[in-house]
């Protein structure tokens, strides 16, 4: 089979790495890819949002399966367009992607179908939003309705911080169209876990639970980011909690989407908060997570082709996932200044000296004339599998002593 992966991050590198292990895969193409994917398959400089040109490329290259990594193409209808052309695509349709591209749609779906989540109110008018917030208890959570690259969520401890967040979005337009509608939510205390599941629209195949670290600094302080690290560990959810999440959140969500006329196929990602022994839905995403994918893929023993084709052929109920023993941990190195202003273009060295049991999934890298340089905020993910989280931590932080680029920065507390 010939595989085409859409995207240029570490998530796409991890998917390409996993596909490369399959005896069923002949070649892998990535649009546009990065410095890491170039060593696995063929990077193609093309615009994934030009659907006509993309279809032409798929036809010319005789692609058998197209896998969409990021949420933006999904929200713009890439799956709908390609399916109409007879192309096999892994990823939900535009209507299915609304679970991520519109938080008001997602929360409304939860409320309508009894899926546990925090109380919320939706606003498009700054005056009304500020009036509402004045009468609320703090902390509050304020979210941009649309896609904001994981940066559109603010936990506000005071009225002043809430006022700034609302003003920046509704009046200042810091997230453009994505922030023209906002949600004000009740703050829930607890621990977060990401539970992803493959689905064919009826059946669900849950993946190993993951905890990711969103804040830029140690101690979970500072700005929200796309993710600074993650651990994948079955012990993050005991059997009872896992069944609660499946029976109260993920299964009802698939049933709810189907009741709304949406045949959802691909990955459904639930961001869950466990509070006082009960799970609540923080958000749904319509694709593989980043950095969650980087710690999930090394633990899956199945052929990824079989899993993805199961979602397309509606036979996930006949597939069992087998897992490698142990846990996986990832630490993300960024260019200092991320998620705001950061430097690009710095040479990256040391990756060729890493231990064989450490994977380097590239995020913001470019390979030109044999030189690997920084091209994005989240630059490198170092990943390893071990018997315990602490063993993985020690391994990764020791290996990071070998990796160098100017302005390198990473959290020191991933896994704690």
Domain match, 335 and 395 both: yes
With CA atoms as reference, report the closest residue to 182 among 196, 192, 195, 168: 168
Domain match, 87 and 6 both: yes
Instruction: Give 398-416 pLDDT, tens digit per residue.
Output: 999 999 999 999 999 999 9
Using 50, 70 and 90 to split pLDDT, how confident is the model at 281? very high
Residue 253 lies in a domain: yes
- Does residue 105 register a pLDDT over 90? yes
Range of the domain at 23: 2-94
Domain match, 362 and 392 both: yes
Q: What is the reported pTM? A: 0.96
* Mean pLDDT confidence for 265-275: 97
| Domain boundary, last residue among 128, 151, 186 | 186
Domain match, 216 and 313 both: yes
Residue 102 lies in a domain: no
Residue 205 lies in a domain: yes
* Mean pLDDT confidence for 81-87: 98
- Does residue 44 register a pLDDT over 90? yes
Residue 101 lies in a domain: no
pLDDT at 132 (0 to 100): 96
- Chain-centre distance of CA 126, in angstroms? 30
With CA atoms as reference, report the closest residue to 115 among 268, 283, 265, 241: 283
Domain match, 149 and 217 both: no
Domain match, 205 and 297 both: yes
Domain match, 199 and 261 both: yes
Using 50, 70 and 90 to split pLDDT, how confident is the model at 224? confident
Domain match, 200 and 295 both: yes
What percentage of the chain carries pLDDT values higher than 70?
A: 100
Domain match, 195 and 147 both: no
Domain CATH number, residue 51: 3.40.50.20
With CA atoms as reference, report the closest residue to 190 among 117, 99, 120, 288: 117
Domain match, 338 and 392 both: yes
With CA atoms as reference, report the closest residue to 219 among 413, 1, 5, 22: 413
- Does residue 83 register a pLDDT over 90? yes
Mean pLDDT in the chain? 96
Distance (Å, whole) CA 414 – CA 184: 29
- Does residue 266 register a pLDDT over 90? yes
Domain match, 308 and 353 both: no
Distance (Å, whole) CA 149 – CA 221: 18
CA distances from 142 to 118, 151, 362, 406 (A): 12, 11, 31, 34
Using 50, 70 and 90 to split pLDDT, how confident is the model at 172? very high
The residue whose two tokens read 């779906």 is 109
Domain match, 166 and 62 both: no
What percentage of the chain carries pLDDT values higher than 90?
A: 97
First to last CA, the chain: 41
* Token reading at 277: 């022994």
How many structural domains does the chain have?
A: 4
């Amino acid at each position: 089979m010939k595989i085409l992966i859409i995207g240029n991050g570490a998530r796409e590198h991890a998917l390409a790495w996993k596909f490369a292990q399959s005896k069923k895969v002949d070649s892998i193409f990535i649009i546009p890819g990065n410095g890491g994917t170039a060593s696995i398959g063929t990077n193609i400089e093309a615009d994934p949002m030009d659907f006509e040109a993309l279809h032409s490329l798929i036809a010319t290259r005789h692609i058998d399966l197209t896998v969409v990594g990021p949420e933006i193409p999904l929200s713009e209808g890439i799956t709908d367009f390609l399916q109409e052309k007879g192309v096999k695509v892994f990823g939900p349709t535009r209507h299915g992607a609304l679970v991520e591209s519109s938080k008001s749609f997602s929360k409304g779906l939860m409320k309508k179908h009894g899926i546990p989540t925090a109380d919320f109110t939706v606003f498009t008018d700054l005056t009304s939003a500020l009036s509402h917030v004045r009468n609320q208890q703090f902390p509050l959570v304020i979210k941009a309705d649309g896609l904001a690259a994981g940066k559109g969520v603010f936990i506000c401890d005071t009225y002043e911080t809430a006022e700034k967040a609302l003003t920046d979005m509704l009046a200042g337009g810091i997230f453009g169209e994505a922030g023209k509608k906002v949600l004000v939510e009740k703050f829930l205390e607890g621990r977060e876990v990401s539970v992803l599941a493959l689905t064919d629209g009826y059946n669900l195949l849950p993946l190993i639970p993951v905890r990711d670290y969103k804040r830029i600094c140690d101690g979970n302080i500072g700005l929200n980011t796309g993710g600074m690290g993650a651990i994948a560990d079955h012990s993050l959810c005991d059997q009872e909690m896992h069944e609660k999440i499946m029976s109260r959140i993920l299964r009802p969500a698939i049933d709810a989407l189907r009741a709304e006329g949406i045949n959802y196929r691909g990955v459904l990602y639930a961001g869950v908060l466990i509070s006082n022994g009960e799970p609540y839905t923080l958000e749904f995403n319509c694709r593989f997570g980043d950095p969650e994918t980087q710690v999930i893929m090394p633990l899956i023993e199945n052929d990824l082709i079989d899993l993805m084709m199961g979602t397309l052929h509606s036979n996930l109920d006949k597939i069992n996932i087998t897992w490698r023993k142990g846990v996986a941990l990832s630490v993300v190195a960024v260019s200092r200044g991320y998620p705001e202003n950061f430097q690009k273009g710095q040479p990256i060295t040391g990756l060729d000296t890493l231990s064989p049991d450490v994977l380097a999934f590239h995020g913001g890298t470019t390979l030109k004339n044999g030189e690997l340089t920084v091209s994005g905020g989240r630059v490198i993910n170092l990943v390893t599998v071990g018997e315990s989280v602490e063993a993985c931590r020690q391994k990764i932080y020791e290996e990071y002593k070998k990796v160098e680029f100017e302005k390198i920065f990473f959290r020191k507390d991933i896994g704690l």
